[in-house]
Chain A
């Protein structure tokens, strides 16, 4: 056997927390940078749709989407407090150090979408993994056709990135349609599941030459896929990004397998045609 000293991919690099922003209940955005500027430079070459493994030392490690677009200056994670490690991350204050490994995964093949219309359909915190792709497309606005976002959540308080979305809608030309499952007094917009937005008067969704990006809870995913298929979308033009329990990020620990695919290396971005052929339900 050859004598080898390959880089240890299990070794996290030290990151420093810059600031924390409250998004919605239990969801915060953590802005950070690598301690080592060379690491920062290398990491910034990530692709929209890739993910990273975040370590809170002493608590553990979890996979997290990279919501920033590589065209953005800042690096950040948007994380819901849901388990023990994410709870530990929520305890950190600016200046604290944590670990990051990555980027991992295939990411969205943004070049193949050139000249196409982009249709984003997100539910709840499913917008987090799509944000990178959306913002990347807006930063390269001339390369893409119509850009639409259909975004639904339980209530007004559960809509993510609302400020950024409003601003982008004004300044960079994309259509943003919001809906909530349950309206409260402050909500004046559409009420219903996200698929109902497609049939709203005044909304026209191009089907020809369009790629649809879908991310959200499994139930929403199934219904949106059904709606898109009824509108005439082909399976190859529906793209999603999947999440799984993950430990290694490099296709070894075995937790993220779906049928033939390791989500961490073969995904997390799959077309619906691939998802159907993985050999296991998602």
Chain B
């Protein structure tokens, strides 16, 4: 069996065990409601949280940094071009099931198919994922969560190395990889009983009923978008609410677009950087001559949801580029996060079909 039981007090022992091999990143409380991922040090290790509102910024940046140096360029008679790689041994401790699915989606995008992204692969190959099952209906699950509709949570089925689940007075730990299972050799882990599994089922059964406002009827919307049945007026209605801030893409655990630019760092030295980019921004498709194929905001909103929900792309990556974390709901000033758009598209298209 690949599952073990450990005492709640031993959670920090597991963090310390990981710290022997990895730089450990875990969620912490900031000011007020703010929560964030940070590196665990001797000074802050006692502040690591398991039950905590999901940090605003997803752990995406540990595999796909917001700003990443691709090349170092030294201008000389002969330009010196040096790729710069970063591949720290890192463990993400306490990431939610939605974010685990997000990293899985990035894997499929950057490492799947015929081309493997060298930079992403190096970040990823030394990464150890400790997933936490959302069990606390007040702290873990908030109004904007809809992993239930995205089929990514509250308990991830795979793509983690270890999974922790709070059973009330102890943790159930599941290994998702040989790397994770190796930790079971440590004496803090003991074998579980059928009663533990029964408890797990009971808790998950209850948690599933705790989802709140945000919901998503993906599949009818996927069908409408794929069949090109969505009316332009629907996209205009959605586009009119977009403030073009790009927040949805920056917060999204599955958004992959980037731009590349060069930065001067010395008299003859430059860095080539790749930086997150967002399809909401007007310059995203604007060419040097000034022609912009997606000038209207609603064309760009159409693009974002088309890319995430057209069946072609779901088949291509073998996963939906939305994991139900609810961050876009939280960040969007125009209230056009994924659940709202999915519902708008479903409702207006169903209505127009009925009247057709």
Contacts and interface: CB of A to CB of B under 8 A. Distances in A.
A171 interface: no
Contact of B310 (A7, A62, A252, A260): A260
A97 B78 contact: yes
B205 interface: no
Interface residues of B, number: 50
B136 to A, nearest CB: 32
Interface in A1-50: 1, 3-12, 14
Contacts of B272: 10, 61
B36 interface: no
Interface in A236-274: 243-245, 247-248, 250-255, 257-260
A11 B117 contact: no
B121 A99 contact: no
B306 A259 contact: yes
B306 A279 contact: yes
A164 interface: no
Contacts, number: 119
A185 interface: no
Interface stretch (B5-13, B21-29, B206-214, B286-294): B286-294
Contacts of A3: 125
B293 A6 contact: no
B264 A58 contact: yes
A251 B313 CA distance: 13
Q: Chain B interface secondary structure, helix, strand, loop or mixed?
A: mixed
Given A14-B79, A279-B306, A254 B121 contact: no
B75 interface: yes
Given A12-B81, A254-B279, A60 B125 contact: no
A247 B118 contact: no
Contacts of B75: 57-58
A248 B346 CA distance: 35
A247 B83 contact: no
Contact of B260 (A83, A247, A259): A247
A273 to B, nearest CB: 16
B116 interface: yes
B66 interface: no
Contacts of A7: 118
Interface stretch (B52-60, B251-259, B328-336): B251-259
Contacts of B125: 1, 3-4
A120 to B, nearest CB: 22
A247 B259 contact: yes
Q: Chain A interface secondary structure, helix, strand, loop or mixed?
A: loop
A255 B277 contact: yes
Given A6-B118, A57-B75, A253-B259, A14 B81 contact: yes
Contacts of B277: 253-255
A85 B287 CA distance: 12
A125 to B, nearest CB: 10
A279 B115 CA distance: 25
A259 B293 CA distance: 12
B62 interface: no
B70 interface: yes
Nearest to A84: B288
Contacts of A99: 79, 81
Interface string B104-116: 0000011100011
A134 B339 CA distance: 50
Contact of A59 (B262, B302, B310): B262
Interface string B269-289: 010101001010000111111
Interface of B: 70-71, 73, 75, 78-79, 81, 83, 109-111, 115-119, 121, 124-125, 228, 256-262, 264, 270, 272, 274, 277, 279, 284-289, 291, 293-294, 299, 302-303, 306-307, 310, 312-313
A-B CB proximity, top 3 nearest: A83-B288, A254-B257, A247-B260
Interface of A: 1, 3-12, 14, 57-62, 80, 82-83, 85-86, 97, 99, 218, 243-245, 247-248, 250-255, 257-260, 279-282
